[in-house]
Structure 1
Amino acid sequence: MFPHADELNYFIEVAKTKNISRAAERLGIRQPSLSAAIKRLERQLGTEIIIREKTGVQLSRAGLRLLKSAQQLLDDWDEVKYSALRENKEAVGHFTIGCHSSISLHMLPDSLPTFIAQNPGIELSFQHALSREIVEAVISWKIDIGIVVNPVSHPDLVIKHLCHDMVSFWHNPEKIQSRDVLIYDPALMQTNWLLKTISESNRYKQYIRSSSHELITKMTLEGFGVGIIPGRVAQTHGRNQLEWVSKDQPGFKDEICLVYRREITHSMGAKKLIEEFKLTNYEKNFY
């Protein structure tokens, strides 16, 4: 059990005055209350910290060690309180944003450079993983804000809709070498759904697998074959050369959302960052 800050302050005053009565007077508390606080500290430490004498008190060896640490503990606690209060009132702090690497390339607000310039007290870190892993990290306080696809409702999460996307089959009609080659990310649930949907009419005979949407898009752009790609990724990296394989092809509709714990909005910096994402106009929906 960690001692109360008042108890440490009381102990420091006793160490300075080497007299319980004088310390109580300087602290403005009754002597029995001060003696009780010292005894609580001794119970927590499991040893005596002062040696009572007729003319006053002396610190024991444990008391001397505690005195060296007590002031640093109080200083650290004051710094924590100051930082917490400052984050509540000012746009300051370090925030971790989690998202899939491909999402980060087309979902970060265009105004983010201006936002950073206007809020010099805010620092950002980015972590990249699958959406389900990002959601778990937000729930467990490892990530502050997540940009995720198709999040499942959770009592600890606030979920805010940003836009829609569509995962489907794309090709470069000017360069494609073989329509029998399919390039895709096997870890995506959307990919598995699409493959099941076309299982009876599947014409693909050769497969190229990659966990990088950027690489899948590049290979599709260069004519390796047909790529299963989110629409926003295809448009961001496809240089306006990629098209749907056919207008009546199946597609998996995605919802891209912002997720965070409600408690984080107590921080002014986090609140302003969340608003920056919510106010961004993600105009084009691919569905």
Structure 2
Amino acid sequence: MTQPTLTLAIKRLESSLGVSLLVRSKTGVTLTRHGESFQRESKKFLEEWFELKSKIIKEKDDIRGIYSIGVHPSVALYTVGDFLPDLYRKHPHLEVSLFHDSSRIVTEQVISHQLDMGIVVNPVNHPDLVIIKLISDEVTLWESLNNKNNDVLLCDPDLTQTSSLMQKIKKQRNDFKRIIHSDNLEVLRDLVESGAGVGILPGKVVGTSNKKLVSLENAPVFKDNICLIYRADRVKTRASELLISTIKKLKQ
């Protein structure tokens, strides 16, 4: 570094701090009281900086770090358990933080860098997103074998699937006199099992081994795609690559 460049750098530093760091005289340059204090603290800062740099490099090359995954609670019940236990067993320095909300909110959080990745239903295309289809599902009308309330419809009114199916249902039948609303699909499923009425439910939430519920014959169907999403410009580490490759194995 040349002398003029060094002098300019010191002046910028003094201007930023609002104090003089050096006393300049004919015999040389000495530190002011503020300069001595800055020198002591800057050594600590440099030590912390090199520690942080070492940690980041290690995290980039090792399977370690904390990663956030957003997923709707109902989707989490049939996806997360298929990959998280083995990841934790094999990689003791890897941590995953789960965030639960609607697929729309999760997608927004991934786009805005608040989440590392998401497992979402029917994501909307976005230029910053990589979208990988994992699982297919079908949302339709279900009832129990001992349904006591054929005129009662159970559903989550905030789901796109519900509004789409409701329009088709009205064209086919008009005999639902009452509606039970809930934003918890597992609660709706249990109510349908108890005979409370006919429910709008995803097949994955009902479960393939569920012998209590049957889908209504000739009922309209809404096709769902469960997808992995993450930003195209994400910071690539060995851990994030492992997470993505592991979740992709959920594909049918």
Describe how 1:13-32 pairs up with structure 2 within 5 A. 30-32=2-4
Runs of 4+ deviating beyond 6 Å: none
C-alpha deviation, 1:243, in angstroms: 1.1
The answer to whether residue 17 in structure 2 is matched with residue 36 in structure 1 is no
Pick the aligned partner of 1:194 from 165, 168, 171: 165
DSSP 3-state at the match of 1:123: strand
CA distance in 2, matches of 1:31, 1:156: 45
Give the match for residue 273 of structure 1: 243
Pick the aligned partner of 2:25 from 53, 70, 77: 53
Call closer, same or farther: CA 1:178–1:273 in 2, change over 3 Å.
same
Amino acid at match of 1:252: F
Give the match for residue 263 of structure 1: 233
Describe how 1:226-241 pairs up with structure 2 within 5 A. 226-235=198-207, 239-241=210-212
Which structure is larger by alpha-carbon Rg, 1 or 2?
Answer: 1
Structure 1 portions without partners, runs of 5+: 1-28, 283-287
Describe how 1:174-253 pairs up with structure 2 within 5 A. 175-200=146-171, 201-235=173-207, 239-246=210-217, 248-253=218-223
CA distance in 2, matches of 1:265, 1:59: 41
Give the match for residue 51 of structure 2: 79
Higher strand share: 2
Instruction: Using CA pairs under 8 Å that are at least 6 residues apart, name the structure with larger relative contact order, 1 or 2.
Output: 2
Higher helix share: 1
More divergent stretch after superposition (48-57 vs 126-135): 48-57
CA distance in 2, matches of 1:67, 1:216: 65
DSSP 3-state at the match of 1:71: helix
Pick the aligned partner of 2:97 from 125, 130, 142: 125
8 Å Cα contact 1:94-1:123 kept in structure 2: yes
C-alpha deviation, 1:97, in angstroms: 0.6
Pick the aligned partner of 1:141 from 113, 125, 128: 113
8 Å Cα contact 1:179-1:226 kept in structure 2: yes
CA distance in 2, matches of 1:171, 1:265: 46
1:184-214 Cα deviation digits (max 9, x unpaired) = 1011011011111112322111111101011
1:68-90 Cα deviation digits (max 9, x unpaired) = 43223323332332232222211
1:126-182 Cα deviation digits (max 9, x unpaired) = 101111110110011111110001111111111101011111111111x21111111
Identical amino acids, percent of aligned pairs = 39
The answer to whether residue 112 in structure 2 is matched with residue 102 in structure 1 is no
8 Å Cα contact 2:135-2:250 kept in structure 1: no
8 Å Cα contact 2:78-2:204 kept in structure 1: yes
1:198-246 Cα deviation digits (max 9, x unpaired) = 123221111111010110111111111111111100116x733211021
Call closer, same or farther: CA 1:72–1:202 in 2, change over 3 Å.
farther
DSSP 3-state at the match of 2:162: helix
* RMSD of Structure 2 on Structure 1 (CA): 1.9
Aligned length: 251
Amino acid at match of 1:36: L
TM-score by length of 2: 0.92
Call closer, same or farther: CA 1:53–1:121 in 2, change over 3 Å.
same
More divergent stretch after superposition (113-122 vs 65-74): 65-74
TM-score by length of 1: 0.81
Give the match for residue 15 of structure 1: none
8 Å Cα contact 1:166-1:252 kept in structure 2: yes
